[in-house]
Amino acid sequence: MNVLEINNVTKRFGNLVAVRDVSLSVAKGELCAIIGPNGAGKTTFFNLISGFFPPTSGAIMFDGRDITKLSTHQRVTLGMARTFQITEIFPELTVFENVRIAAEVAGGYRLRPWINRSEQANIHARVEETLKLVSLETKTDRLVGELAHGDQRAAEIAMALALKPHLLLLDEPTAGMGDQETYHITQLIRRLHRDSNYTIVLIEHDMRVVFHLADRICVLDQGKMLAQGTPTEIAANETVQAAYLGNAA
Amino acid sequence: MNAEQSRKAIVLAAIWTTLVLVPYWMVPLGGYTALATRVLVLGLAAMSVNFLLGFTGVLSFGHAAYFGLGAYGAGLTLKFLALSTPLALVAGTLLGGLCGAILGTLIVRRRGVYFAMVTIAFGQVFYYIAFQWSSLTGGDDGLRGFSRQPIDFGLFKLDILSSANNFYFFVLFCFALVVGAMGFILRSPFGRTMIAIRENERRSRFLGIPVERHIWIAFTLSCFFMGFAGALYALVNNFADPRGLHYSQSGDFVMMAVMGGMRSFWGPLLGAAVFVVLQDYLSSITVNWMSFVGLLFVLVVLFFPRGLLGFIQRSKA
């Protein structure tokens, strides 16, 4: 079954059509990369999926359920988690506290005025397990705002993972990183996909990352879906080459 | 217990010991117990404002409305309904809290300056009602003709009217209850979502927190605390003043919170203590006492952006 099913979605801002009649399905366990030049509508498309704003027309299905009209937090509750191009974290809290909030919300405790010892122990175990997955287990007591950019990104991914999502949306996970950090994040995403079997949709500019990770690549250009296919198909696609890839692939 | 926890326990014990022993050290230092009672009540109000400002990150400039409503609720109960101090406290708390809960549904959709403006606007509505409705509220003269009643424990009665010390301990007991509740909430999963919203609203939303609903709950809780503080204030003065509803009073509470340190739990109490003591001392010297408090506020904001307590904590660390 497809985790995500987007049917003919369009988003207009006044006269500008940011996303034009785009359809996309993502199967369970798949890693789908969205690429395209700047201003192609990638982030707008992500915002539509995650409920930042509603589409002008079209429908979005998640786990077989129509979520077009649901708010962001309702979509998250159904199992969708997202990271941002510019890292969105709680800078003045520690790594542990950042992920604990996510784990508590996911555990259904967000309105609780108390938490008992066994529940707390479960949450702590969950947080530690998640931090281990993203290799931040030695930095749990550090303030997130004081970490290196790559570690902040890893903490943001950890928060998303603590929500136990069925779908992980990553908006330019390697943006602004050096080669070493890019390598680490790429390895992390690869582990999440291959070993932990997460369904992932990511936007990425770095073609090395995209071709290394993706099962399938979607190319957006001027708000339209230019092409979809496996990395080999996309690399061989002449329209895509002309519009975007150049000789990078 | 690790070092951090034991340090916190020691600080907490020191704070409560100081508060419990007030009647014994305040008088030798040239103060009087009733001054400490005022500090506790206004400190509780500043802590209630800070529950919202410092821990949820939204600035209400109209919280005096719920403080004043608490005071009128308590005063009107004592004057017209029943001669019972506990009932007056409950009525004041409910009046402030419920009005906050209802108006909060309209207010929480706004952010930043707009949030502050809407809170002022609603606050002023209550001020003008209290000001104009003379037959019930006493208008500009305020609500008079009531006084706090002895607390009846069945076996004995606690005289809180003529004994300043008894009244101080009664207020301290009430203060401890509410501050305990605040601390309990802030350490809970719900409290942590408040801090999450303060730190990053967008991230909170994308963690599945319905931000508006959580701000509404925090706003409502803070209005209940505020109503309770207001009810206590009516008992302190045996009087309810329409100026207690005015936005300038809200400004004073925000000032106490910011001056003391809005990121710290106890900061607003320190801010209130500085404010009240300076007011008491300076107003006997000059009518322009507020200029000096204002000057101190500006200095604190410029040089100790984390407030007095924030500064003390940082220089220790």
Q: Read off the CATH number of the domain in which A21 is found.
A: 3.40.50.300
Q: Is residue A6 part of a domain?
A: yes
Q: Which pLDDT belongs to residue B41?
A: 97
Determine, yes or no, domain membership for B270: no
Q: Do A73 and B208 touch (CB under 8 A)?
A: yes
CB-CB neighbors (< 8 A) of A105 in chain B: 189, 193, 207-209
Same domain flag for A134 and A66: no
Residue B140, in any domain of the structure? yes
pLDDT band per the 50, 70, 90 thresholds, residue B146? confident
Are the C-beta atoms of residues B231 and B70 closer than 8 Å to each other?
yes
Whether residue B74 lies inside any domain: the answer is yes
Amino acid at B1: M
The pLDDT value given to residue B112: 84
Tell me, yes or no, whether B294 lies in a domain.
no
Q: Are B95 and B117 in contact (CB under 8 A)?
A: no
Cα–Cα distances (Å) from B252 to B36, B90, B97, B256, in that order, read 18, 25, 20, 6
Closest CA to B100 of B217, B265, B254, B193: B217
Residue B288: pLDDT over 60 = yes
What confidence score (pLDDT) does residue A245 get?
61
Nearest C-alpha in A relative to B205:
A73
Tokens of residue A140, six digits: 């749990």
Regarding whether A74 and A10 lie in a shared domain, the answer is: yes
Looking at the fold, whether A124 and A172 belong to one and the same domain comes out as: yes
Whether residues A57 and A120 share a domain: the answer is no
In a domain, A48, yes or no: yes
Do A107 and A173 share a domain, yes or no?
yes
Q: Residue B222: is it exposed, middle or buried by C-beta count within 10 angstroms (0-12/13-18/19+)? A: buried
Calculate the CA B281 to chain-centre distance: 21
Spell out which residues of chain B touch residue A101, defining contact as CB-CB under 8 Å.
Answer: 192-193, 195-196, 207
* Mean per-residue pLDDT over chain B, rounded: 91
Cβ neighbours of B2 in A, within 8 Å: none
Is B50 part of a structural domain of the chain?
yes
Task: Name every chain B residue with its beta carbon within 8 A of the beta carbon of A91.
Answer: 199-200
- Considering chain A, what is the average pLDDT of its residues? 91
Whether A13 has a pLDDT exceeding 70, the answer reads: yes
Whether A71 and A89 map to the same domain: the answer is no
Ranking A38-47, B154-163, B238-247 by mean pLDDT, the lowest is: B154-163
Number of A to B CB contacts under 8 A, please give it: 76
Cα distances (angstroms) measured from residue A238 to each of A63, A241, A242, B107: 34, 5, 6, 55
The closest of B35, B6, B75, B25 to B280, measured between CA atoms, is B35
Closest CA to B110 of B194, B211, B252, B206: B211
Q: Quick one: pLDDT at residue B131?
A: 92
- pLDDT, mean of residues B47-72: 94
Shortest Cα distance, chain B CAs vs residue A168, angstroms: 12
- Note whether A90 contacts B211, CB cutoff 8 Å: no
The pLDDT score that the predictor gives to residue B89 is 95
> How far is B149 from B146, CA to CA, in rounded Å?
9
Looking at the complex, report in whole angstroms how far the Cα of residue B7 sits from the nearest Cα belonging to chain A.
18
Nearest CA-CA distance, residue A66 and chain B, Å: 18
Mean pLDDT in residue range B149-171:
85
Of A50, A91, A115, which is closest to B189 when you measure between CB atoms? A115
What pLDDT, on the 0 to 100 scale, is given for residue A92? 92
Q: Which residues of B touch A (CB under 8 A)?
A: 184-185, 188-190, 192-193, 195-196, 199-200, 202-203, 205-211, 214, 217
Choose the mutation target among A97, A111, A126 for the interface with B, i.e. most B CBs under 10 Å: A111
The count of structural domains within chain B is: 1
For residue B157, what pLDDT is reported?
81
Nearest Cβ partner of A90 from B190, B200, B217? B200
Count of all residues that appear for chain B in the document: 317
Indicate whether B315 belongs to any domain: no
Is residue A248 predicted with pLDDT exceeding 70?
no
Q: Is the pLDDT of residue B175 over 90?
A: yes
pLDDT category at B139 given cuts 50, 70, 90 is: confident
**CA pseudo-torsion sign B125, B128, B133, B134:** positive
Average confidence (pLDDT) over B56-64 = 92
User: Smallest CA–CA separation between A238 and chain B, in Å?
Assistant: 38
Check whether A249 has a pLDDT greater than 50. no
Res B31 pLDDT > 90: no
Confidence at residue B90, expressed as pLDDT on a 0 to 100 scale: 96
- Interface contact A102, partner B, CB < 8 A: yes
A247 has a pLDDT exceeding 60: no
Q: Which residue in chain A is spatially nearest to B212 when comparing CA positions?
A: A73
What distance in Å separates the CA atoms of residue A217 and residue A35, rounded to the nearest whole number? 7
Q: CB within 8 A of B257, min separation 6: which ones? A: B46, B47, B49, B50, B53, B54, B267, B268, B271
Domain check: are A12 and A27 in the same one?
yes
Do A114 and A57 fall within a single domain? no
Q: Does one domain contain both A163 and A92?
A: yes
Selecting from A84, A91, A163 the residue whose C-beta is nearest the C-beta of B207 gives A163
Q: Of A78, A106, A133, which one is at a domain's C-terminal end? A: A78
Angle at alpha carbon of residue B70, lines to B68 and B74, rounded to 5°: 120
Sequential DSSP letters for A52-101: SS--SEEEEEETTEE-TT--HHHHHHHTEEEE-SS----TTSBHHHHHHH
The residue segments making up the domain with residue B155 are: 37-247
Contact B214 A100 (CB under 8 A): no
pTM (predicted TM-score): 0.91
- Residue A61 domain-assigned (yes or no): yes
For the segment A199-212, the average pLDDT, to the nearest whole number, is 91
Q: Provide DSSP, B3-38.
A: HHHHHHHHHHHHHHHHHHTHHHHTTTTT--HHHHHH
Percent of chain A with pLDDT over 90: 71
The domain of A96 spans 84-188
Is the separation of the CB atoms in A10 and A19 below 8 Å?
A: yes
Q: Which residues, in sequence order, are CB contacts of B293 under 8 Å at separation 6+?
A: B255, B275, B278, B279, B282
- pLDDT value for B313: 75
Taking phi first (over 0 means left), then psi (-120 to 50 degrees means alpha), and beta for anything else, what does residue A13 get? beta
Closest CA to B101 of B218, B182, B186: B218
Strand order in the sheet with A57-62: A16-27, A2-13, A57-62, A65-66
Q: Is the residue at B46 inside a domain?
A: yes
Query: Nearest CA to CA, how far is A114 from chain B (Å)?
Result: 5
With respect to residue B106, please indicate whether it lies within any of the assigned structural domains.
yes
Both A1 and A32 in one domain: the answer is yes
Flag whether residue A153 sits within 8 Å of chain B, measured between CB atoms: no
The candidate with the shortest Cα–Cα distance to B235, out of B128, B33, B113, B86, is B86
Judge if A12 and A29 occupy the same domain.
yes
Single-letter amino acid, residue A158? A
Q: Are residues A24 and A119 in the same domain?
A: no
Give the count of domains, chain A: 2
Q: What is the pLDDT of residues B219-271, one digit of tens each?
A: 999 999 999 999 999 999 999 999 889 999 999 999 999 999 988 999 999 99
pLDDT over 80 (residue A246): no
pLDDT band at residue B182 under the 50/70/90 scheme: very high
